[in-house]
Amino acid sequence: METIEVDKYIVGRVYPQIYAFVTNDVPPSLKVGDTYRPIDVRLSEWRHYYNDLEYVFSDLAVVNKEDENDIFFRDYSVHQFLIGKGKNRLLPKDINKGVYYSQEFFRDAHKEDVIAAIKDINRSYQANEEIYQFYKVEGKNISKNDAVIIRNQEYKLRNIQKDTVNKFLSAISNGRTKLLMYAVMRFGKSFTAMTCAKKIGAKLVVVVSGKVDVEEEWRKTVLSLKNFDGYSFLSNEGLRNYDAISKMLNENNVVIFVSLQDLQGPNIKPKHKELFDSQIDLLIVDETHFGARAEEYGKILKNNGLGDKQIKEELRQQGFDEKKEENAQTLSHTKSKTYPCSDSFKGLTYKI
Helix, strand, coil in percent for the chain, rounding step 5: 40, 20, 45
Half-sphere exposure of 282 (CA within 13 A, CB side): 31
- Closest of 308, 309, 283 to residue 293, by C-alpha: 308
- At residue 188, does pLDDT exceed 80? yes
pLDDT for the residue 176: 82
3-state secondary structure of 349: coil
- At residue 69, does pLDDT exceed 90? no
47 C-beta neighbours (distance < 10 Å), count: 13
pLDDT for the residue 331: 52
pLDDT bracket for residue 201 (50, 70, 90): very high
pLDDT for the residue 35: 87
Structural domains of the chain in order of their starting residue, each with its CATH number:
13-148 (no CATH), 159-345 (3.40.50)
- At residue 315, does pLDDT exceed 70? no
- At residue 307, does pLDDT exceed 80? no
In the 3-class helix/strand/coil scheme, how is 118-160 assigned residue by residue? HHHHHHHHHCCCCCCCEEECCCCEECCCHHHCCCCECCCCCHH
Q: Taking the CA atoms of the chain, what radius of gyration do you get in angstroms?
A: 23
Half-sphere exposure of 165 (CA within 13 A, CB side): 21
Helices vs strands, H then E, count in the chain: 11, 13
- At residue 207, does pLDDT exceed 80? yes
**pLDDT digits 0-9 by tens, 272-294:** 888 888 888 988 888 765 555 55
**pLDDT digits 0-9 by tens, 144-182:** 444 446 677 889 999 999 999 999 899 889 988 777 767
Percent of the chain with pLDDT over 70: 69
Question: DSSP H helical segments within 187-251, as ranges?
Answer: 189-199, 215-224, 244-249
Q: Work out whether strand 253-259 and strand 204-209 pair parallel, antiparallel, or are unpaired.
A: parallel
- At residue 220, does pLDDT exceed 70? yes
**pLDDT digits 0-9 by tens, 87-100:** 999 999 999 999 99
**pLDDT digits 0-9 by tens, 12-21:** 456 789 999 9
Q: How far is residue 313's CA from residue 315's CA, in Å, rounded to a whole number?
A: 5
- Closest of 344, 5, 59 to residue 183, by C-alpha: 344
Q: How far is residue 314's CA from residue 74's CA, in Å, rounded to a whole number?
A: 44
Instruction: Kindly report the average pLDDT of the chain as a whole number.
Output: 76
Residue ranges of E strands in the chain: 17-22, 29-35, 54-60, 71-72, 105-107, 134-136, 141-142, 204-209, 231-234, 253-259, 282-286, 329-333, 343-345
